[in-house]
Structure 1
């Protein structure tokens, strides 16, 4: 059964399980609810690189991040448009994860990739600073099955935003969608379908 996106990551899950749960979340929540209007095309074209990090500490995760940033920068966008660096065994605490994002941004700068790549954030316990609490459904727009660093190409983001009318409304539209869905609707997305 796919791991529910708000559950706690379990150390020791197999790479196949981690990637499968992440794909289910991407298909049912991110694409299915249209939380990111740009995700469907790269998913359909199989241009998303899924990487499971076995890092057990921040230093090892940072090394994996540096490697993946360099790989994405060097790759043909037709082959790899974006990377999901999933790290189930480190930064399970959201505040620690949030602190790590400063290191992720510094890594982009250190490699001279500022303006070329950026890192977006997803976490099972994601919480926006202005949310109404841990269970605020708005937080679920960034809740993934496992802590995940999303590596994106800046020019792809710019093109997507330019092609999407009122791109600045995406965040607000996501909150509206999630509030209409509610927690019960969110949970229902990830329930196993009954056998035929």
Structure 2
């Protein structure tokens, strides 16, 4: 498949899942107008973290871009365990590069499972995407939209309730449709 397919599927996922179900209440503010940069990375773990570094630099230099989604199409992240290894490396390197407090790395994967949750729990679909991806978010934007921990808890509770009300099959069908388009 071409990069265009992965880019389009991810844009549609942002619209049809993240924004439509209000999983991230401030996503709509960066999606319309489009302030999201999408990048496809096909390399190994080293290439992935290099892409994350390059995108941090790009965000440093381009304030009109609010956030970056690095879509990973690589054997390095196909299994969720391998993905978590790359995520841990990316988070450590963000700190090593001096980006703690500047950028946050959010994680999404087709097989995402929250710690302590059953693999078939609907709540996992709040972080399931058609393809593995890493989301670089400006900490200042998070602070702007979430004034306190209570706001974060409300979002979390809303997401769980929404996922449970629609069920696994609903989200599995949505993700499959996005992968086939």
The RMSD of aligned alpha carbons is: 1.8
Structure 2: which 5+ runs fail to align? none
Q: CA–CA distance in 2 between the matches of 1:29 and 1:81?
A: 19
Which of the numbers 79, 90, 94 marks the counterpart of 1:93? 79
Whole-angstrom CA distance in 2 between matches of 1:191 and 1:60: 27
Is 1:19 equivalent to 2:7 in the alignment?
yes
Is contact 1:65-1:85 (8 Å) kept? yes
In the alignment, the residues of structure 1 paired with residue 149 and residue 99 of structure 2 have an alpha-carbon distance, to the nearest angstrom, of 25
Partner of 1:48: 36
What is the TM-score of this pair, normalised by structure 2?
Answer: 0.90
Higher helix residue share: 2
1:1-196 to 2 correspondences below 5 Å: 13-55=1-43, 57-76=44-63, 79-89=64-74, 90-131=76-117, 133-162=118-147, 166-189=151-174
Runs of 5+ consecutive residues of structure 1 not aligned to the other structure: 1-12
Runs of 4+ in structure 1 over 2 Å off: 163-167, 183-192
The count of corresponding residues between Structure 1 and Structure 2 is 176
Tell me the CA shift for residue 68 of structure 1. 1.0
Q: Is the 8 A contact 2:129 2:175 kept in 1?
A: no
